[in-house]
């Protein structure tokens, strides 16, 4: 939170980085941006915070790598239901930020 507050105070743009695959060029800095740009590594935010067994919900941090998320869910008998080609490198936050998709979505008729 202190990093975000400091960036706001000094008018610095933050671009979060997760797995670093950059398949969608998400870390590419906009050429028209004149402010300083800082990339913020989300790697230490890599945990599942809780799993709600009665509602089949999970809360996880943005930096968790897809393969780790899937393994931890599988250990409890669940699946994420999302499997992009870059699952072993890409992060949950990256999936959300880039509206990622994978082949498994066809099973869900999406």
> In the structure encoding, which two tokens stand for residue 64, read together?
């968790």
* Binding-site annotation, residues for FAD: 16-22, 98-101
* Binding-site annotation, residues: 16-22, 98-101
* Tens-binned pLDDT, residue by residue, of the chain (110 aa): 899 999 999 999 998 888 877 766 767 788 898 999 998 999 999 999 999 999 999 999 999 999 999 999 999 999 988 888 889 999 999 888 888 777 666 665 55
* Structural domains of the chain, ranges and CATH numbers in brackets: 2-108 (3.30.465.10)
Backbone angles phi, psi at 72, to 5 degrees: -65, -40
**pLDDT, position 34:** 93
């Amino acid at each position: 939170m202190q990093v975000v507050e400091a960036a706001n105070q000094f008018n610095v743009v933050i671009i979060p980085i997760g797995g670093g695959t950059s398949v969608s060029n998400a870390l590419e800095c906009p050429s028209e941006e004149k402010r300083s740009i800082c990339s913020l590594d989300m790697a230490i935010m890599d945990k599942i915070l809780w799993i709600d067994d009665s509602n089949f919900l999970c809360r996880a941090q943005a930096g968790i790598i897809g393969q780790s998320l899937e393994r931890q869910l599988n250990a409890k008998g669940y699946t994420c239901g999302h499997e992009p080609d870059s699952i072993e490198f890409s992060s949950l936050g990256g999936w959300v930020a880039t509206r990622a998709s994978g082949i498994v979505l066809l099973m869900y008729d999406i």
